Amino acid sequence: MRRTLTILGVASVALVALDVILGLWVTPPDADQGELVRLVYLHPALAWVALYLAFGMAALCAVLYLWPRTRSMRFDRLSASAVEVGVVFIGLTLITGSIWGRPTWGVWWTWDARLTSTALLGVLFLGYLALRRVPADPEVRARRCAIAAIFAAVDVPIVHFSVVWWQTLHQGATVLNPNLTPTIHGLMAWTLLLSFIAFTTLFAWMVLMRFQIEELRESGEDVELTRALEARRAEGVAS
């Protein structure tokens, strides 16, 4: 397990570094957006990891945990790790999104459909993390969190449609905000693809690490359990 972690770690750092070098220096600036387009090698990849990868994985693991045949605490830990890393990525998606919006629309935050639903989902999963911190029996906490993850995942399409309809009526998405990912070709397209791969690997590395932390913490507690049993019995004999 440790070996895969280090390999993944090195790979993700290398890929991200390559993406940054290509994105910042090698690829040409865009015709109308100029240098600003370089954010395209960051924002879409972050959003893809945050919205689809992280929360898709969290929901999938939650379902697997709730399904009696495949129930195991590992899925609960995987789900929680995916959410925690996912929330970090969602934060960055929002930050890079609003940085990109500032020069184009003149404001840090616009009620653009994608930004709004991303923010809402971010808050939704902050609720998951809040629920996770509630002290409870591990199985009970796992069950609650799994159900919360499924609720959040089910809410994604509802949020998406209601925000998109709400937003288009509001100020017409297509008129004001140019498509965030301008049509690109050649080296830029390759770098964009690279950015997706780089951040997916980074995500995998982080989730695995977070998962390993939970595993070690859990195994630490199992060891303690056997010692706790002896201590409990000794307590009886002593009294």
Interactions with another protein, residue window 212-231 (CB under 8 A)? 212-213, 216-217, 219-221, 223-225, 228-229
Exposure string of 198-230, with b = 16+ CB inside 10 Å and e = fewer, is: bbbbbbbbbbbebbbebbeeeeeeeeeeeeeee
Q: Which of 11, 136, 184, 197 binds another protein (CB under 8 A)?
A: 136
* 132 in contact with another protein (CB under 8 A): no
Residue number, 74 or 141, with CB nearest to another protein: 141
Site string for another protein, 85-104 (x = CB under 8 A): x--x--xx--xx--xx-xx-
* 63 in contact with another protein (CB under 8 A): no
Instruction: Please identify which residue in the block is written with the tokens 């690279």.
Output: 194
Taking CA 165 as the corner, what is the angle to CA 55 and CA 130, rounded to the nearest 5 degrees? 30
CA distance 84 to 132: 10
Q: Which of 147, 173, 184, 197 binds another protein (CB under 8 A)?
A: 147
Count how many Cα atoms sit within 13 Å of the Cα of residue 40 in the half-sphere of its side chain.
Answer: 24
CB of 196 to another protein, least distance (A): 15
Selected range binding another protein among 34-42, 52-60, 72-80, 174-182, rule: CB under 8 A: 34-42
Q: Which of residues 153-192 bind another protein (CB under 8 A)?
A: 154-155, 158-159, 161-163, 165-166, 169
CB of 81 to another protein, least distance (A): 10
Q: Which of 10, 52, 171, 233 binds another protein (CB under 8 A)?
A: 233
Q: Which of 7, 14, 130, 176 binds another protein (CB under 8 A)?
A: 130
Q: Which of 60, 63, 73, 209 binds another protein (CB under 8 A)?
A: 209
Q: Which of 11, 74, 144, 182 binds another protein (CB under 8 A)?
A: 144
CB of 52 to another protein, least distance (A): 18
Side chain identity at residue 229, one-letter code: L
* 39 in contact with another protein (CB under 8 A): yes
CB of 183 to another protein, least distance (A): 19
Residue number, 52 or 108, with CB nearest to another protein: 108
CB of 164 to another protein, least distance (A): 11
Asked if 91 and 157 touch (Cβ cutoff 8 Å), the reply is no
Task: Choose among 75, 88, 58: nearest CA to 202.
Answer: 88
